Amino acid sequence: LRSWAGQRNLSPILVMGLIRQESRFEAEILSRSGAVGLMQIMPDTGRWIASKKGRSNYSLKDPENNIEFGTWYFDYTHREFNDNSMLAIASYNAGPGAIGRWVKSRGIGDPDEFVEGIPYDETRGYVYRVFGNYWNYQLLYSPQIRQRIAQLESETITASSRTKGANK
């Protein structure tokens, strides 16, 4: 995961958040819609990616191939939307065409308002969940984030103590 994400300048933690949402890290999972593997790639999308990469021998059930193809596609969605991760994640779920139409008709503006206005319930929830997963993994794996949160909590407690003391 780190290797494929790194080659594509993607955050490995964001890719983990996406995989968590797509498959719960079950390598051979098959969705009702036919999506396959860790990054839940549709077979037609897999064939399209393989043709773009010049590959003929691959298996979407193989974790290595699945992450290679999934990160390639996630990078593609990032490039389609000027490296905007929110739009790339929405696009990973709903497809670049749908997101392109929404951006064209509404613009992006405030990201929270854009997500709230996504007309597909599944995609709106998907964006929230992937970013929720991302934040949880940041808390688990990023010491800088944990240190900053501890610092903010300490500052909040100190400020709260001062306010209570001033009100006596």
Query: What amino acid positions are annotated as catalytic residues?
Result: 22
The radius of gyration of the chain from alpha carbons, rounded to an integer in Å, stands at 19
> Any residues with CB less than 8 A from the CB of 141 and at least 6 apart, and which?
13
DSSP letters of 78-122?
HHHTTT-HHHHHHHHHH-HHHHHHHHHHH---SHHHHHHT-S-HH
**Coil, helix or strand at residue 34:** coil
Q: One-letter amino acid identity for 82?
A: N
